[in-house]
Structure 1
Amino acid sequence: MKKVNIYFNRWFSVAFHYMNLIRNNEDGIPFQIFATHPDIRHMSLQGADVAETEPALQGIEYVQFCVEFCRAHEIDIFIPRLHMLDIALHAQLFDEIETKVLVCRDLDLLETIMDKGKFYESVSSKGLMTIPDYHVVSNVQQFRAAYEDLVARGHRVCFKPTETEGGLGFRIIDNARSPLEELFGHVTPLISFEEASRILGSTESFPDLMVMELLEGYEYSIDCLADEQGKLLAVVPRRKAGGRLRLMEHIPELEKIAASVAEAYRIPFNYNIQMKYSGSIPKLLEINPRMSGGLHISCLSGINFPYLAVKSALGGEVQPAAFVHDVLASHVEQPLIMRIDGQSVVSDPVN
């Protein structure tokens, strides 16, 4: 059987797990996995069969690099993360070389999802789910007014950039913090209102920030799998259960929200809905139109999300799948011997 060639551009280190989940698929389909990253020793490359250094490019120049990489290596499936919007904008270049790209091709939707402020407006207009109280600000006067409004409503307040990934730029306003204690302790996301105002007031304007109520209940990542047309095939709510613990559990209201999102937006392949409870009400944090950082944990519930997305893209039949409920999972570090031999990256576990 001919191997299927898969390409990951610059990803997070957890791509190591996605690659192995695809490679160790239940159908026995052989894959050869290619990956690029600016750092040839990056952990994401250790799951690849072939790895190369990726140049620091932007826009169409970066897309052209990816196209040429796919052409040179006869890539069947491209799973992008870096510069996803640029890649989607020029998806026809990959069509011309018969490389399937696992990306949302609805450019308006993709742009909206990647800007948290715009996406909150879209969700609110459709009535899909509850969103936190928030303001989008770009200068210190707006920031102060937003903070005062949210405090008047009885909220603790946090803020983060409207366009970011993970926890980058996330801060919690805490006016009772002790900078001296923090200096001798762990780094925290805490900042006082006065300190935040001073920093933000040092410039006339800044990139959009979302100032919002701090949600303090359970946090869930809802991992979703859809076919190319956005038909929902699998949903796994995954809860932070303290420390490194993650609990995959059946939450009907969250699964209903996932179904509503799928019906409204038709996001293809793998994506992730992040929600957090305020009392008994789940509120939206964001949607990531890609595989989530904890997707490999959700796969322990019995659904191979990365492989099934690839299988669907290749035209294979993927049936709606249920998951094993109440799976409590965690992770430990696995030491690896890293070897670089030419452009091949090989990793072996240490026994």
Structure 2
Amino acid sequence: MKKVNIYFNRWFSVAYHYMNLIRNNEDGVPVQIFATHPDIRHMSLQGADVAGTEPAVTGIEYVQFCIDFCRSNEIDIFIPRLHMMDIALHAAQFDAIGTKVLVCRDLDLLEMMLDKGKFYEKVKDSGIMEIPEYHVVNTAEQFKTAYEDLVAKGLRVCFKPTETEGGLGFRIINNSRSPLQELFGYVTQHISFDEAYRVLSGAETFPDLMVMELLEGYEYSIDCLADENGRLLAAVPRRKDTGRLRVMEHIPELELIAERVAETYRIPFNFNIQMKYGGSVPKLLEINPRMSGGLHVSCLSGINFPYLAVKSALGGEVQPVSFGEDVLASHVEQPMIMKIFAESTIQDAVN
């Protein structure tokens, strides 16, 4: 059986797990995994058979780097994260060299999913799920007005950039903070309104921020798998519990939301819906049109999300699948030797 060549461009460290999940697939399909990153020692590359260094370029130059890499290495499947929009814009050039790109090709939809403010408007119009109370602002005065409006409704307030990944830029407004106590404690996401307003007032305008109600219930990531046409094949709600504990559990209303999202937007392959409860109501945080940072945990449900996406992209038959019993999971760090050096070369390698 011919090996399938699979390429990951710059990914998070957890791509190490995705690569091994694909490699150890249930069908015994042989794969060779390629990966690139600006840092050749990055953890994600340790799961690859062939690793390379990415150049410090953007836009069409970066896309051309990826095209050349796919051509020279006869890549069958390309799973991008970095510069996803640029790559999607030029997906036809990858088709032309025989490389299948696992990316949403609805460019308008992809652009909206990458901008939380625009996507909230889209979801609001569709009515398929609830969204938090929010305002999009780019001046200090707009920020103040938005904050006062939400507080008047009896809501706690947080804010984050409309274009970001993970928790970058997320802050909770807390006016009862003790700066001295915080100085001797952990770095916190809390900030007072006055401090935030002072910082934002230092610029005439700033990149769009979403000022929104703080949801204080359980947070769920719904990891989803769809075929190339966006037909939902699997959905696993994964809940953050205390510490490092994670729970994969059947929540009918969240599974229904996954079905509605798939039917409405037809997002292909792997995607992730992040929800958080406000009281008894699950509300949207964001949708990521890619594998989530915790997808390898959801795979403990028995569903190999990364491999099944690859199988579907290659034209294999993937039937809808559900997981069985609820699963409680966690993780511990695993030390790993990346390379053995002679004593005289260790300091050179570190430097």
TM-score by length of 2: 0.96
Cα distance in 1 for residues equivalent to 2:340 and 2:95: 32
SS in 2 for 1:82: coil
RMSD value over aligned CA atoms? Answer: 0.9
Cα displacement (A) at 1:243? 0.7
Cα distance in 1 for residues equivalent to 2:318 and 2:219: 29
SS in 1 for 2:338: strand
Q: How does 1:60-75 map to 2 (within 5 A)?
A: 60-75=60-75
> Aligned residue for 2:8?
8
1:44 paired with 2:44, answer yes
Q: How does 1:54-65 map to 2 (within 5 A)?
A: 54-65=54-65
Cα distance in 2 for residues equivalent to 1:307 and 1:272: 16
1:266 paired with 2:266, answer yes
Cα displacement (A) at 1:325? 2.7
Cα displacement (A) at 1:326? 1.4
Q: How does 1:93-108 map to 2 (within 5 A)?
A: 93-108=93-108
SS in 2 for 1:335: coil
Q: How does 1:150-229 map to 2 (within 5 A)?
A: 150-229=150-229
Choose between structure 1 and 2 for higher RCO, CA contacts under 8 A separated by at least 6 residues: 1
Cα distance in 2 for residues equivalent to 1:219 and 1:24: 30
Cα displacement (A) at 1:241? 1.1
1:309 paired with 2:280, answer no
Cα distance in 2 for residues equivalent to 1:340 and 1:156: 52
Cα displacement (A) at 1:56? 1.3
> Aligned residue for 1:329?
329
One-letter code of the match for 1:55? P
Cα distance in 1 for residues equivalent to 2:181 and 2:43: 34
Deviation string, structure 1 residues 94-141 (Cα, Å, up to 9, x no partner): 011010000000000000111101100000000010000000000000
> Aligned residue for 2:109?
109
> Aligned residue for 1:277?
277
The runs of 5 or more residues in structure 1 that have no matched partner are 342-351
SS in 2 for 1:339: coil
Identity %: 80
Cα displacement (A) at 1:2? 1.1
> Aligned residue for 1:25?
25
TM-score by length of 1: 0.96
**Counterparts in 2 of 1:259 and 1:70: CA distance versus 1, 3 Å:** same
**Counterparts in 2 of 1:269 and 1:340: CA distance versus 1, 3 Å:** farther
Cα distance in 1 for residues equivalent to 2:137 and 2:314: 43
Cα distance in 1 for residues equivalent to 2:232 and 2:24: 23
Cα displacement (A) at 1:324? 2.4
> Aligned residue for 1:84?
84
4+ aligned runs moved over 6 Å, structure 1: none
Cα distance in 2 for residues equivalent to 1:288 and 1:274: 8
Cα displacement (A) at 1:192? 0.4
